[in-house]
Structure 1
Amino acid sequence: MPTPPAPRLSEQARAKVNLALHVTGRRADGYHELDTIAAFPPLGDTLHADPADDLSLTIKGPFARDLTADGDNLVLRAALALREAFAVQAGAALVLEKRLPVASGIGGGSADAAAALRILCQLWNIKATDPRLHEIAARLGADVPMCLASAPLRAQGIGDRLTPLAVFPQAGFLLVNPRIEVATPDVFRALASRENPAIGTMPQTFPDARQLATFLRTTRNDLEPPATALATPIRDVLAALNGLPDVLLARMSGSGATCFAIFEDAPMASRAATTLQQARPDWWVAATTLS
């Protein structure tokens, strides 16, 4: 009897949301020093992998048309870097279901690259604990090591010093994007100051969503003011989120344009999503949980 084909592997590329993002300096090489708290809600793209002789990538999903499956795609760059580092002779047929908006401040491309590293380690029998994996992730981009972990963390330096955090409390979480792209370099160039205070000491745990929001109000996203100056629709999103019933905190993630809101529970976030979808059908709106 012929050998049955190996089962398809699948890996979720969770969105990376910056609950706080402080820009604390700029290095001589141009990289910015950051202090950020990242959450990875159970929402994102999905990457599939089948054994193959060559490497290939197919992109599907609501935001597929915003990406190209060429050599600049981070998924293929991650696959090629991993294959070269470990002298892998095999290939992979990769299929990316693109559900997150592109260039939206929630780590979509970085999350996809990290998912490629994780799924190809399974397919090619590479140990996920091999230190070369993190070296590859860091070369691909500052956010990729965070997305490789894909768990609550605090990242400092240029995103290379990662500290795992306790699981965030159960909370309703809402993500909203006005369907515009914001260029991260432009946002950094518009920063009024690159020397800002770090986040400081964090509590070990947060008993509930309300106490998490209370702590986060002592933090900032230093990229929010320049981003909203460059892309005024972000202001509309933040105003809409702050006007929702039961919202505990609303803020922009990363360099924008996606914003988030925290609620005490998932039903509150779902009701808020329905309200926004009815009022602004032109926006991308997604309700989920924080963890």
Structure 2
Amino acid sequence: MTAAEGFAPAKINLTLHITGQRDDGMHLLDSLVMFADVGDHVTVALSDTPHLSLSGPMSKGVPDGPDNLVMKAADLMGVSADIKLDKVLPHAAGLGGGSSDAAATLRVLSRLTDTPMPADVTPLGADVPVCLGNSAARMQGIGEKIDTAHDLPCLNAVLINPGVPMRTPDVFAAVGQKNNTPMPPEIPANLSAIEFIDWLRGMRNDLEYAAIGQTPVIAQVLGALSVTAGCRMARMTGSGSSCFGLYTGEETARAAEGRLKEENPGWWVTATRLNAHP
């Protein structure tokens, strides 16, 4: 095998509690993550000369050289590769696109070279370890403590990005209260989708208020989601500016997608499923 493809799904932070800050400035988190059916695609071939080519509707503004995380992933594997990256997810959007791209590249290169992935992938970013798992998980610490979350339902969602990139360090720096309560010790399992969404409504994204202060359109996105029929909750994911709405069913999510696209033609809007392949 000389070439292979990989899927890099969007990472959605259903919750994101900031529980402290280390002396080195890194923030401590407690976050429940699921992955979506929508994402980027990578095609990787072993090559004597490293090369990256970009395509796709969201490729504008994405680094196309050695600074791209897919190239850094190849370097971490000690492999020279020709990588084609099809960008479907918005860049710098809070959807974990770069981290998921890196994780997909690591998985593909491991298959191509028949070698294990590096034991420590955190040099690529704090989100890369959870993206490697590609399943619902609870992240704690700075992202290095990962516990798979079992027996959680598939959720119907609509994702929106208003087209405003966010710098994660700036959002974290704007958070006033750094020592907040974590999630409960146990994530409830074996609930229906509606029961689980109702539990999620009691959780938080502690970055949301700070992000809205920097990018007020996020509040508009959350409001637009909240008033669509069947939306049980709306929240920002990651450090923004993307947000998600959770719905009572697939049909209501698709209907909301159509309405939101019509009313906001400048936004990236897509209906998807979360945790569809637990």
TM class, shorter-length: over 0.9
Q: Is the 8 A contact 1:9 1:48 kept in 2?
A: yes
Relative to structure 1, is the Cα distance of residues 184 and 20 closer, same or farther in structure 2, using a 3 angstrom cutoff? Answer: same
Q: Is the 8 A contact 2:149 2:187 kept in 1?
A: no
In structure 2, distance between residues paired with 1:204 and 1:231: 33
Q: CA deviation at 1:140?
A: 1.0
Q: How many equivalent pairs are there? A: 275
Quote the residue 1:175 is aligned against: 159
Does 2:177 match 1:193?
yes
Q: For 1:237-252, what aligned pairs fall within 5 Å after superposition? A: 237-252=221-236
Does 2:30 match 1:35?
yes
Does 2:141 match 1:157?
yes
Q: CA deviation at 1:204?
A: 4.1
CA deviation vs aligned residue, 1:141-169 (integer Å, no higher than 9, x gap): 11111111111000000000000011531
CA deviation vs aligned residue, 1:152-191 (integer Å, no higher than 9, x gap): 0000000000000115313311100101111111111110
Q: Is the 8 A contact 1:166 1:204 kept in 2?
A: no
Q: CA deviation at 1:71?
A: 1.5
Which residue among 72, 83, 90 is the counterpart of 1:94?
83
* Residue aligned with 1:192, SS: coil
- When normalised by structure 1's length, the TM-score is 0.91
Which stretches in structure 1 are left out of the alignment for 5+ residues?
A: 1-5
Which residue among 28, 46, 55 is the counterpart of 1:51?
46
Does 2:93 match 1:104?
yes
Higher mean alpha-carbon deviation, 212-221 vs 50-59, is at 50-59
CA deviation vs aligned residue, 1:33-52 (integer Å, no higher than 9, x gap): 00000000111100011232
- When normalised by structure 2's length, the TM-score is 0.95
Q: Which runs of 4+ in 1 moved over 4 A?
A: none
Q: Is the 8 A contact 1:171 1:208 kept in 2?
A: no
Q: Is the 8 A contact 2:32 2:139 kept in 1?
A: yes
In structure 2, distance between residues paired with 1:29 and 1:227: 22
Relative to structure 1, is the Cα distance of residues 192 and 206 closer, same or farther in structure 2, using a 3 angstrom cutoff? Answer: farther
Does 2:66 match 1:82?
no
Higher mean alpha-carbon deviation, 201-210 vs 116-125, is at 201-210
Quote the residue 2:108 is aligned against: 119
In structure 2, distance between residues paired with 1:276 and 1:206: 31
In structure 2, distance between residues paired with 1:46 and 1:143: 18
* Residue aligned with 2:234, SS: strand
Which residue among 190, 210, 220 is the counterpart of 1:236?
220
* Residue aligned with 1:285, SS: strand
In structure 1, distance between residues paired with 2:202 and 2:188: 16
Q: For 1:258-269, what aligned pairs fall within 5 Å after superposition? A: 258-269=242-253
Q: CA deviation at 1:82?
A: 1.1
Q: CA deviation at 1:7?
A: 6.2
Q: Percent identity?
A: 38
Q: Is the 8 A contact 2:73 2:106 kept in 1?
A: yes
Does 2:10 match 1:15?
yes
Q: CA deviation at 1:207?
A: 2.5
Q: Is the 8 A contact 1:191 1:223 kept in 2?
A: yes
* Residue aligned with 2:185, SS: coil
* Residue aligned with 1:198, SS: coil
Q: Is the 8 A contact 2:57 2:87 kept in 1?
A: yes
Letter in 1 for 2:220: D
Give RMSD over aligned pairs. Answer: 1.3
* Residue aligned with 1:44, SS: strand
CA deviation vs aligned residue, 1:91-143 (integer Å, no higher than 9, x gap): 32110000100110110111111111111111111135xxxx240x2111111
Which stretches in structure 2 are left out of the alignment for 5+ residues?
A: none
* Residue aligned with 1:9, SS: strand
Higher mean alpha-carbon deviation, 230-239 vs 212-221, is at 212-221
Quote the residue 2:66 is aligned against: 71
Q: CA deviation at 1:201?
A: 2.5
